[in-house]
């Protein structure tokens, strides 16, 4: 039987945005938007609290969360992905986003916890 854990996504930290005037960020897991509740969260350099729980996440494969930028007049951009390797140890972790394009400016880090 596959073991699973509960994950808490604590905050999203932005060091550099993709767009000069800030990004309109939303996160997807398994093709579904998981954050924020609205269309997007406006991000500039700084932190945003997330406070979401993902339950029964299997630990036998990496958890991949996509970081998207909402665009009003063009297709939304996939800025990058968080790839989180899970185990059964409780604790806090930080994961840096792997950008979609290597020449991309955008830099995001997620703080999360295995409960
Ligand atoms: Ca964009
Ligand atoms: Ca945008």
CA-based max dimension of the chain: 48
Structure-block tokens of residue 7: 């994950």
pLDDT digit string, tens, across residues 21-41: 999 999 999 999 999 999 999
Give the model's pLDDT for residue 87.
86
Mean pLDDT, rounded, for 34-54: 96
Assign residue 30 a region (left: φ > 0; alpha: ψ between -120 and 50; beta: otherwise).
left
Query: If you measure from the C-alpha of residue 23 to the centroid of ligand 2, how many angstroms do you get, rounded to a whole number?
Result: 5
DSSP 8-state symbol, 21: T
Query: If you measure from the C-alpha of residue 63 to the centroid of ligand 1, how many angstroms do you get, rounded to a whole number?
Result: 24
Instruction: Read off the pLDDT band of 8 (50, 70, 90).
Output: very high
| CATH of region 4-114, choose from 2.40.50.140, 2.60.40.150, 2.60.34.10, 3.40.50.2300 | 2.60.40.150
pLDDT at 103 exceeding the cut of 90:
no
Listed residues: CB within 5 A of ion ligand 1: 69, 71, 77
pLDDT at 102 exceeding the cut of 80:
no
pTM of the model: 0.94
Q: Return the domain boundaries, the chain.
A: 4-114
């Amino acid at each position: 039987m596959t073991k699973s854990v509960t994950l808490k996504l604590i905050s999203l930290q932005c060091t550099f945005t993709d767009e000069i005037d800030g990004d309109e960020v939303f996160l997807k897991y398994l093709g579904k938007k998981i954050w924020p509740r609205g269309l997007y969260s406006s991000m500039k350099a700084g932190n945003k609290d997330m406070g979401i729980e993902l339950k029964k996440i299997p630990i036998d494969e990496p958890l991949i969360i996509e970081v998207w930028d909402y665009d009003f007049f063009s297709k939304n951009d996939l800025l990058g992905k968080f790839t989180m390797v899970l185990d059964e140890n409780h604790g806090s972790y930080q994961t840096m986003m792997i950008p979609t394009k290597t020449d991309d400016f955008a830099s995001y880090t997620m703080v999360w916890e295995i409960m």
